[in-house]
């Protein structure tokens, strides 16, 4: 057994009085070639640990993508109904909703690919997009307001 290792293990249990000489002055103990260092003197070191990405993260990304596509399909179905069975105002609204549905599909695909790439590279999160849903809501409300405006203007 290494005698230096025994000294280091014992040093952690020494009191501060053990470092004083007969005259009350502090001295730095030296035990051969091993200097005395306390745990408080050492800087906090960060250890890099590889991050394990669980499969549920990939599946959650795919579920979110499928949810966006579900919304786009429902919106596209509404647009198709307006285009086929609506009057002139309904056809304008149907065209607007068709364009919005296609934009949602493209947005969902881009977001899915962006998240999947970040997950594969094990980048730090968050993976959420705060602007996309807000833009979608603003565009949808605008299309609905245009539809109401055209309905009231052309109905008179």
For tokens 């596509």, what's the residue?
69
pLDDT at 96: 93
- 35's enclosing H/E stretch is strand 34-35
pTM: 0.63
pLDDT in tens, the chain (156 residues): 444 443 334 444 444 455 555 555 555 555 555 555 555 656 677 776 666 778 888 899 999 999 999 999 999 999 999 999 988 888 999 999 999 999 999 999 999 999 999 988 888 778 888 898 999 999 999 999 998 998 888 876
Buried b / exposed e across 106-144, counting CB within 10 Å, b at 16+?
ebbeebbeebbeebeeeeeeebeeeeeeeebeeeeeebe
pLDDT at 89: 87
How many angstroms separate the Cα of 2 from the Cα of each of 9, 66, 105, 139?
A: 11, 62, 67, 73
Closest CA to 58 of 122, 9, 11, 4: 122
Question: C-alpha angle 98/103/105, rounded to 5°?
Answer: 95
pLDDT at 124: 78
Pairing mode, strands 34-35 and 30-31: antiparallel
């Amino acid at each position: 057994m290494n005698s230096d290792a025994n000294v280091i293990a014992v040093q952690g249990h020494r009191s501060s009085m053990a470092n004083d000489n007969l005259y009350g002055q502090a001295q730095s103990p030296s035990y051969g070639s091993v200097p005395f260092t306390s745990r408080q003197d050492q800087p906090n070191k960060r250890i890099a640990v590889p991050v394990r990405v669980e499969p549920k993260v990939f599946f959650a990304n795919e579920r979110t993508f499928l949810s966006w596509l579900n919304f786009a399909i429902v919106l596209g179905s509404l647009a198709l109904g307006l285009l086929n069975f609506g009057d002139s105002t309904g056809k304008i609204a149907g065209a607007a909703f068709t364009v919005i549905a296609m934009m949602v599909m493209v947005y969902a695909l881009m977001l899915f690919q962006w998240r999947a790439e970040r997950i594969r590279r094990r980048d730090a999160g968050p993976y959420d997009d705060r602007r996309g849903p807000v833009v979608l809501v603003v565009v949808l409300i605008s299309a609905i307001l245009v539809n109401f405006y055209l309905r009231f203007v052309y109905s008179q």
